[in-house]
Structure 1
Amino acid sequence: MTIFEFFDNKLTVSSGRDAKALTYRELPSHLSDAFDDFEIEYDEISDASDTELKQYFQRLQNGLPLSSSEKLNSVHSSLRNFCRELAKHEFFVSKVNFSNKRYAHFDVASKVVTIEVEGIETGLRFDDIKEVFENQTTFSAQSAVGKRLRQTFVYLDRSFSTKGLELRNRTFVQSIASLASVIVRSGNFVGTEQKFRNFIAAFAKELSRQVEMGLDATDGDYIQFQRSVNANVKGAAKTRQTILLRKMLQFDPSFLDILGPSVVAASGLTQEAKRLAEMIGSLVESLNEHFSASAGTDLIKPTNKTMGALRSLAKPVKNYSDYKEFISNLYFVFWEGTGNRLKGKIPTSFNDINTLRTDLQHDLDHGKQKKVAAKRKRSSTTFKKYASSSTPRTAAPENFPMLQVGILNQIEKDLHSLIS
């Protein structure tokens, strides 16, 4: 209003070096032209309550600009309306552990929706989401994507019975919501809520522990996950989802049956097996130094055959034949290689390797019936611990990469324990 009153010559300006006139009409032409050409940026607020308008006014008066989510809220789009609806879901109201200040819930919902519409590799910055909103002005909540997103938040609400300590960070909530969407998309999600909740709790706990360890962290996945949370760059959402999928399969192999074979490629298990194999090779060297300092000898003799077996651990395990070779190499290094030098302190993974090797090399039917049954049960339980199948002979190809990473991951943890 003040600007228009000045245009109407109802207001005056204080005289200065170049402005000795008092009204707009009396300004020199070069000043009035500059005044006419000056562009003013502004944000248009729509669908805001009186309380929200007062908050905007107070903030702008104090020089605080609108946040990205507040700007997105002003975009005219059916997809924006759908995100506003999701942001009011019971999951946000009673389960997440952060306030809705400055449209925080809408911010998370917008990013989850953008990923579902555009794919996991999409960018999640303001300009990226704004473009998606503008391209989806006719988005229908009754579309397949709309229905799946609603099911996803129902699934999340059922998975968390109370406010979860894990749900206190926007990016973390976006990540687990996008993961939940993958589970819902499979069509096999009914009854998996508690398993999903258990995994998220375990992941969040280990993430916190690994981050606190800093340079001493023993699992690079968690450090990479945290870095992607801190850096808002394109591809960060995919990084987080890949890590979550991989850790979920390791935490509970039965998720492979739920998500199907394609999850193996999406979780990057082959690359993780290579990383773990390289880490195990370094840890064996460190373990020998640590062990020889007190025992005067290496725990695992570094022979040419041992080094070759360690290098082969990175080879992808794709079928039963690969599996037999993989287990044989593990057995040679971590069972035969250690002899009796651990003296009753054999790690879990070493015992599991021995159990799996026994199943491959010996006739479990030999012996008394009770012992035979016990052997079969132990072998089946051990295999299923790392894969969703009960036996290697009947396992589908996608079970083997998951088992490979699961065993290597357990060996890595056990080697760290032996060194510490």
Structure 2
Amino acid sequence: MSQFELSELRASSVWNLYRMRERIQVNPDYQRSGEIWSMDKRRLLIDTVLNGFDMPKIYLHKFPRSKIIKGVTYDYAIVDGRQRLETLWSFIAGKIELSDDFEYYADPTIKANGMTYGDLAQNHPDLKTDFDNFTLNVIAIETEEQDLIEEMFSRLNEAVPLSAAEKRNARPGPVPKNTRDLCAEPFFVQKLPFNNKRYRHFDLAVKFIYNEQRGVVSDTKKAYLDRFALEHENESRVKKLAGYTAARKTVEEMANIFVDNDPLLRSIGMVMLYFHLFRLARNENWLDKITRRKLLSFDKRRIDNRKRAEEDITSASYDLLEFDRYAQSPNDAVALKFRLQVILKVVFGIDRTMESL
């Protein structure tokens, strides 16, 4: 039976939480990327606190013993409420100002619109004190069972639309850790020209592992990846999945060809296609045929073909037009196989049937 205790955190004013911030881990593995809130939403939260309105509970995981992570000592980790806490801390740090239409309902004569925390301290010290003393409803969860914390995170966030990758990252079992480990490879860290916001890297990584595990070009729609995570969730978190090592070897080869922040990788669909190209070449021992120059040339050829089609579609390559059209279905196995078939033929002179891919 799972062992955990819930308790209200004492001394949970805004100011006390700010003073504690260096002991609170904001990005445990199950968390989503920060900065999802718009500036308007963040300002609205500050407005809520200054006007004394109620705020939803914040949940922290209280570690049984302090943890040292990358040289920093933590006593807590945020389970739910990251954006709220980071918004409050950013306001105190002077990174957010009140909205232009801010109104203090207790005394409408106070004009604080557009002010920063420092401005409040200078012009309206009582209002600044009220902000500091505002009590947050913080629940501390005491448990040593990480799976329980991840399950609670997932449940608490069901009211907020998480991306499919975020939900999978919060599940028990080895899929989340294998995904995170793969994302630490240089290909993800250095070569991709987009960040991991809403776990875009994680989404790619789990697709890589899933495809390597199946050994063929496979559908990577949400239902299939969710089932993949579910099938493994009763296994050890630290188990290496059957497709992990092969996926790591493939992305290592990709990192040798692509440059940092490579514009060739700006499209998720093309990243998946290149992955399958390198996977196939690695398995069949012709990696030496792949060069970035060839991939650039193919990219330019597609662009030129689209221009030609605009002027006279009969003079354009039908296969290349279909290649571009199928880019709209990056998770569909049939679309991926067709695109892989085209790039193999056009760039490398390799004829393959879709069934063989």
Alignment TM-score, normalising by the size of structure 1? 0.43
- Give the structure with the higher percent strand: 2
Name which structure has the greater RCO, CA cutoff 8 Å, separation 6+: 2
Alignment TM-score, normalising by the size of structure 2? 0.50
